[in-house]
Amino acid sequence: MTFSVTVLGSGAAIPLTHRNPSAQLINVHEKLYLIDCAEGTQVQLRRNRIRLQKINHIFISHLHGDHYFGLMGLITTLHLLGRDAELNVYADPRLEEIMNLHLDASKTVLNYPLIFHPLNTEVSEVILDNRFIKVTTIPLKHNFPTCGFLISEKQAKPNIRKDFLEGKSLANSDYKQIKSGKDYTDEHGIVYKNEDITTSPRLPRSYAYCSDTAYDESIIPLVKGVDLLYHEATFMEDKAKDAEAKFHSTARQAAEIARLAGVKKLLLGHYSARYKNLQALLNEAIEVFPESMLADDGMTIEVWPV
């Protein structure tokens, strides 16, 4: 089953010809979730051949423009394409006012239900819980109400052994009972222990998205042990004072959070436009946390537990 992250934008503040501002597409079991939606996001979605209509949930970390200026365009495009399925947007409550103002000014009546879910950026809370995933907010330390998002895959059910199934004709109810952990009794009264006829499912996967934030160790318990951590790295360490003043992080600080949280891999992003060559940021992070990598527009990362 798929669990992947596609980077649609890895830059900070302003769009560049080679790097877009923040947006990521998460695919879990072919269900698509969009995190942040900066200017140009829908173009990036098309460039990466992602079906816009399959996106049903959009999470906006905060209301700085480089994280949501593309949302109104995407909402309108979905309307023009004839969407009728509901679209859920999770964000600062003021975003609903902003979107409604745009719709009212353009006299647009959407073909589909647009449902807003207000976020409380002061506390960590579960904002989505469905069959496949649970999404929990991560309060971040920025100069504006901001939160990140932890996407945790649900534990899969046990797999039924193929050698056990050979020569047997099980009803659907039998499959469900075995997968729920129950023993199986055949038509002759022979009891098969569940642990003898199933194999353990793979471990559930997890991804944490920490957008704009100053260095803040309080997030460590929330992201501890995740398979992949995205953490902003706007500056290098020689600009640490700038990072502190603007409530951003350096690449080294992002790596320190990854190290202390014991994550499997670190994905750096949200780079300042001043950096043309990103290798120096990566080198800075690797010194602290070797399993670091650079986010790059258009890249897709498969999330697998180690």
Tens-digit pLDDT profile for residues 254-301: 999 999 999 999 999 999 999 999 999 999 999 999 999 999 999 999
Instruction: Give the helix, strand, coil percentages of the chain, each rounded to 5.
Output: 30, 30, 45
Q: Between residues 191 and 117, which one has the greater pLDDT?
A: 117
Q: Between residues 123 and 163, which one has the greater pLDDT?
A: 123
Strand arrangement of the beta sheet that strand 147-153 belongs to = 126-129, 133-139, 147-153, 206-210, 228-232, 265-269, 292-294
Domains (range + CATH), the chain = 3-156+202-302 (3.60.15.10), 159-199 (no CATH)
The reported pLDDT for the residue numbered 221 is 98
Amino acid at 60: I
> What span, in angstroms and rounded, lies between the C-alpha atoms of 143 and 127?
23
- Is 66 an active-site residue? yes
> What span, in angstroms and rounded, lies between the C-alpha atoms of 134 and 162?
30
Residues 6+ apart with CB under 8 A from 18: 297
β pairing state of 191-192 and 184-185: antiparallel
Least confident stretch, 100-109, 188-197, 202-211: 188-197
Catalytic residue among 36, 66, 212, 297: 66
| Percent above pLDDT 90 for the chain | 82
For residue 171, pLDDT beyond 90: no
For residue 140, pLDDT beyond 80: yes
The reported pLDDT for the residue numbered 198 is 79
| CA distances in angstroms from 1 to 35, 154, 239, listed in the order given | 20, 12, 41
Q: Between residues 183 and 12, which one has the greater pLDDT?
A: 12
Q: What is the pTM (predicted TM-score) of this model?
A: 0.91
The pLDDT mean for the chain works out to: 94
Residue-wise pLDDT tens digits, 52-106: 999 999 999 999 999 999 999 999 999 999 999 999 999 999 999 999 999 999 9
| Radius of gyration from C-alpha coordinates of the chain | 22
The reported pLDDT for the residue numbered 228 is 98
147 within 8 A of 125, measured Cβ to Cβ: no
Residue-wise pLDDT tens digits, 211-265: 999 999 999 999 999 999 999 999 999 999 999 999 999 999 999 999 999 999 9
| Residue 25, strand partner residues | 6, 34
Q: pLDDT-derived band of residue 306, with 50, 70 and 90 as boundaries?
A: low
For residue 188, pLDDT beyond 90: no
Least confident stretch, 53-67, 140-154, 195-209, 237-251: 195-209
**Which residue in the block uniquely carries the two structure tokens 């222990």?**
193
Q: Which two tokens stand for residue 297?
A: 């527009």
DSSP state of 109: -
297 within 8 A of 9, measured Cβ to Cβ: yes
DSSP state of 189: -
**Which residue in the block uniquely carries the two structure tokens 């695919």?**
27
